[in-house]
Structure 1
Amino acid sequence: MTTESSMPFACFAPTVRTPDPMRAAITAAMRTPEPICVPPLVEAATVPDTVRRAAAGTARALIEGLRGSKARGGVQALVQEYALSSQEGVALMCLAEALLRIPDTATRDALIRDKIAGGDWAAHIGDGRSLFVNAATWGLVVTGKLAASADDRGLATALTRLVARVGEPVIRRGVDLAMRMMGEQFVTGQT
């Protein structure tokens, strides 16, 4: 037990509860040099080859099952449509991650304009894609046109004019909400 001289303030902070064996072991190991601590931990964390192979097999079966599944949620379909190997996929993931952390509207709007304006969103419309993916893609096309202020003919121009009448903030809010949904589903971490 410690003496009063080694713990002069112990009387001001009495123990709330008796330390359990795990807490006592942690306290006893405090300030132990790393070369002494790590080898037993590595040995304890090592699993036999049979367990490792079984875990790899289970993971493989789960991944193949998910990839083969036709029933996908809207956000998952959007993520599969815009692969991270494409410029558009990287832009969406940047938005999804950043919009969770940006507190002010002006900065969010500037980021949305920056990331959406340069993408080839129209290439992701149609061809048997889900209604959610097509609707989200049209939103991205229109937002990109607003940000780039392009002057095209056709449906995109009509949608751009309609959106201009409704208001750019409405579209930005839609993109913001969609990216936040993606971010909350796929991005981990604390703000």
Structure 2
Amino acid sequence: MSTVISSATLVGLRNKINEAWFYPETEVVQARLQQHGLSFQARQAITAQAASWVTTLRADPDPNLMESFLAEYGLSTDEGIALMCLAEAYLRVPDTPTLDALIRDKIGGADWARHQQGTDSLL
């Protein structure tokens, strides 16, 4: 099954996201908590399950993809800083041409090849 979304719909959705960007977080979270219809007990069960997953993941001695990524591209590297800046700015970009320019600006000058030396990792 294929879902086709028109450009006008995408623009409308992006406008709604942009409008909501500065809403007070506390108010938005409270509204969403009331909107979803989950009981307090259900939310407690979800929280307990999430905590269990976090504990299990943290106990695993093998680094997962995200940990490997953060170790490779930490904020002590130019590439890590470029990726962080890109991630922070990504949601605020109004259109595709501007996004393409942002990506070129943020990651174009980095030395990505040095991260490929001596590893089989895809990172």
Bucket of the pairwise TM-score, normalised by the shorter protein: 0.3 to 0.5
TM-score, normalization by structure 1: 0.31
TM-score, normalization by structure 2: 0.46
